[in-house]
Amino acid sequence: MTLRLARTLLLSACAAGPLAAAEKVPEAALEEARKASSELVTGVRSELLKAIDASGPLRAIVVCKYTVPEIASALSRKYGARVTRVSLTPRNPSLGWGDAWEQKVLMDFDERVARGEKAEALEHAEVVVEPAGRYLRYMKALPMQSPCMHCHGPVEQISEPIRQQLAHDYPHDKATGLALGRVRGAVTFKKPL
């Protein structure tokens, strides 16, 4: 291959964008991914707000630590998919890191917010071929909203008891310092096609 041809191919690959979908996403699979994601968002939100109202944000940490992974696990069983939450700056290194595809989508979400798009409107779906087969992969951004600020906002705005509890439970926490409207992470859905 000549150098010029290689350069042209490289440029056209970049022009197509890192997230260019190769295959059309089946509508029914996309609808299912949207439904599962919205069930996760609604379930987490209602448990979190209930706990904050009943016992305050410090006690609500328990909801994020134990109840949310249970909800995600129940939805994964129900849909036969991997349904969970990931972030570029996770609090829980076991559940919170995204894989390479998820990191790419999260970086794209951040760029789109920086260009002025609303975080709550961001989603991305793609058919991805992996060594074990074809998967529908879907992500829906989770924006920083006011209740999130108790535990993910700028450190100086987080109350001392919450700061201490988070430092105790998550000594490698990367999930603070975010402003309202930024992308905190995303729901991710992955199911074999």
Measured distance CA(87)–CA(142) in Å, rounded: 9
Burial 165-184 (b: 16+ CB within 10 A, else e): bbeeebeebebbebeeebbb
CA torsion 178-182-187-192 (nearest 10°) is: -120
Chain centroid to CA 55: 27
Binding of ligand HEC at residue 57 (CB under 6 A)? yes
Query: Which segment (1-9, 63-71, 99-107, 112-120) binds ligand HEC by CB under 6 A?
Result: 63-71
Binding of ligand HEC at residue 98 (CB under 6 A)? no
Binding of ligand HEC at residue 75 (CB under 6 A)? no
Binding of ligand HEC at residue 184 (CB under 6 A)? yes
Binding of ligand HEC at residue 140 (CB under 6 A)? no
Query: Which segment (6-14, 56-64, 99-107, 129-137) binds ligand HEC by CB under 6 A?
Result: 56-64
User: For residue 120, which of 183, 191, 37, 192 has the smallest C-alpha distance?
Assistant: 183
Choosing from 140, 150, 190, 191, the residue that interacts with ligand HEC (CB under 6 A) is 150
Binding of ligand HEC at residue 175 (CB under 6 A)? yes
* 179 Rama class: left (phi>0) / alpha (psi -120 to 50) / beta: beta
Binding of ligand HEC at residue 90 (CB under 6 A)? yes
By the 8 A CB rule, do 128 and 82 touch? no
Choosing from 33, 36, 40, 64, the residue that interacts with ligand HEC (CB under 6 A) is 64
Binding of ligand HEC at residue 147 (CB under 6 A)? yes
